[in-house]
Amino acid sequence: MTKERAFLEVPRQDPGYRPREERLKDFHAVERRLTDEELNRQVSRCMDCGIPFCHGAGCPLANVIPEFNARVYEGAWREAADLLSMTNPFPEFTGRICPAPCEGSCVAGMHDAPVTIRQAELAIAEKGFERGFIRPEPPAVRRAGQVAVVGSGPAGLAVAQTLNRCGYHVTVYENAPKPGGVLRYGIPDFKLEKWIIDRRLQLMEAEGVRFETRVEIGRDISHRFLASRYDAVVLTGGAREPRDVKAPGRELAGIHFAMPYLVQQNRRLDGEIIPPETAILAAGARVVVIGGGDTGADCLGTALRQGAKDVWQIEILPEPPRRRAESNPWPQWPVILRESSSHQEGGHRRWSVTVQRFEGEHGRVRRVHGVEVDWVTPAGGGRPVPREKPGSEFVLEADLVLLAMGFVGPGPNPYVETLGIALDERGFIRRDAGHMTSVAGIFVAGDMTQGASLVVRAMADGVKAARGVDAYLRSEKP
């Protein structure tokens, strides 16, 4: 235990955000950082539990959290960085954007606020870069194996990092102008500034990882090309097919999926010119975001910064409770009402509603017609289903509608289709225990196989897939 009784005597302290009026004028990071003194007090709350549920039940990467908390409390930053780097390939990412399932499993959270684990992780990562603990570590010995990683999002980068440090020659292929995948193009700068990604990419290149951008596998490069040059291929393209809404008026102009909207803004900030005829902008618009999750919140924050006149975020699911329900006991992930920095900046939220139809004028959307729903358990039992409430219809004025309802699959992929790689009943890529697909030597990791999920889960899956590739190459290519 770092400090006796600290978990009883020291209250939790979060870093907070920059002032609302200030952060709405830019896209810079909104979250502040705890000082070293504040962080020392916070990690002193760690109970050094006999069974650390934060490590086992909470963290997908299995970070050794009590141990690195103790090192932070002692000021042993190098040791803390070494411990964290053993399990987490990119703590500077998770320290900023992870929803911290570890904190949901923190024992201190059973009766009080959990330890600020994510803030400790971020501090360790940044101290590591500042003091040179996190630096290029090329492998001492290179193996003969060549691996191609298709996709440079969190799963792809984790695969590349792990295999490169095992000594394999790794090339990452990305169809976008720059590597990073959803980290670069899907997550707003106010949550993850892109210099953080570039810093890590430079380090990976210094360690020997090669990045090839603006290349689409299956179109620009064939399977024959990959098979002739690589001993293994790892697919990490993500879940790209968004869930659509089936309602009259869906064809109206001004209704867009959330990801193209967020991608455009990130590219705009990177200096790219978006043609006016394809630009999706919220300036002066009445915006309705359909979907109550993180992507919807990112749309809300982006729209407010672009100068939207008004923003509504609506969700078909009921509003979560502010405290755990009895059916959601610790150490499960707490299904409770969460408020992001974007929600604190403005806009409106509405729960338990669904869209009936879109109304337009001159071919463009102008109104969203919705209705409230009750969630009813069928007479025969099973999961609750939404039922419209008669007389609860409402109308929202809208010049821009953004669909942020998640993803239903990886979408069309010429490489996968040409090879006849097996899919599961949901349309995701099947794999075995070693992450290999139905085609020998071709592996898969991340959202392409497990469905859209958290960045930290994609990273953890990438690390596991790399281990599967390593085992395969050791058996096939001794």
Beta bridge partners of 364: 253, 361
Cα separation, 350 vs 395, in Å, equals 12
Quote the tokens at residue 115: 């330890």
pLDDT tens string, the chain, 478 residues long: the values are: 567 788 889 999 999 999 999 999 999 999 999 999 999 999 999 988 889 999 989 999 999 999 999 999 999 999 999 999 999 999 999 999 999 999 999 999 988 899 999 999 999 999 999 999 999 999 999 999 999 999 999 999 999 999 999 999 999 999 999 999 999 999 999 999 999 999 999 999 999 999 999 999 999 999 999 999 999 999 999 998 999 999 999 999 999 999 999 999 999 999 999 999 999 999 999 999 999 999 999 999 999 999 999 999 999 999 999 998 988 999 999 999 999 999 999 999 999 999 999 999 999 999 999 999 999 999 888 899 999 999 999 999 999 999 999 999 999 999 999 999 999 999 999 999 999 999 999 999 999 999 999 999 999 999 999 999 999 999 964 4
Q: Which residues contact 382 (CB under 8 A, 6 or more apart)?
A: none
Residue entry with tokens 């707490």: 334
Range of the domain at 90: 6-131
CATH number at residue 203: 3.50.50.60
My answer on whether 233 and 250 are in the same domain is no
Residue entry with tokens 């932070």: 72
My answer on whether 342 and 468 are in the same domain is no
My answer on whether 117 and 194 are in the same domain is no
308 lies in a domain? yes
My answer on whether 113 and 215 are in the same domain is no
CATH number at residue 85: 1.10.1060.10
My answer on whether 10 and 125 are in the same domain is yes
| Total domains present in the chain | 3
My answer on whether 12 and 108 are in the same domain is yes
31 lies in a domain? yes
Kindly state the helix (H) or strand (E) to which residue 235 belongs, with its residue range: strand 232-235
141 lies in a domain? no
Neighbouring CB atoms inside 10 A of 293's CB total 17
361 three-state secondary structure: strand
Phi, psi of 471 (to 5 degrees): -65, -40
Write down which residue in 405, 424, 455 finishes a domain: 405
CB-CB contact of 149 with 160 (8 Å): yes
136 lies in a domain? no
Residue type, 476: E
| CA neighbours closer than 13 Å in the CB half-sphere of residue 315 | 18
Write down which residue in 405, 425, 443 finishes a domain: 405
Cα separation, 318 vs 352, in Å, equals 5
Write down which residue in 405, 421, 443 finishes a domain: 405
My answer on whether 317 and 331 are in the same domain is yes
The angle formed by the CA atoms of residues 442, 201 and 97, to the nearest 5 degrees, is 90
Residue type, 424: D
Beta bridge partners of 235: 150, 444
Q: Give this prediction's pTM.
A: 0.95
Q: Could you give the percent of the chain with pLDDT greater than 70? A: 99
Cα separation, 316 vs 373, in Å, equals 7
Q: How far is CA 314 from CA 136, 288, 297, 349, 413, in A?
A: 45, 7, 10, 6, 32
My answer on whether 389 and 471 are in the same domain is no
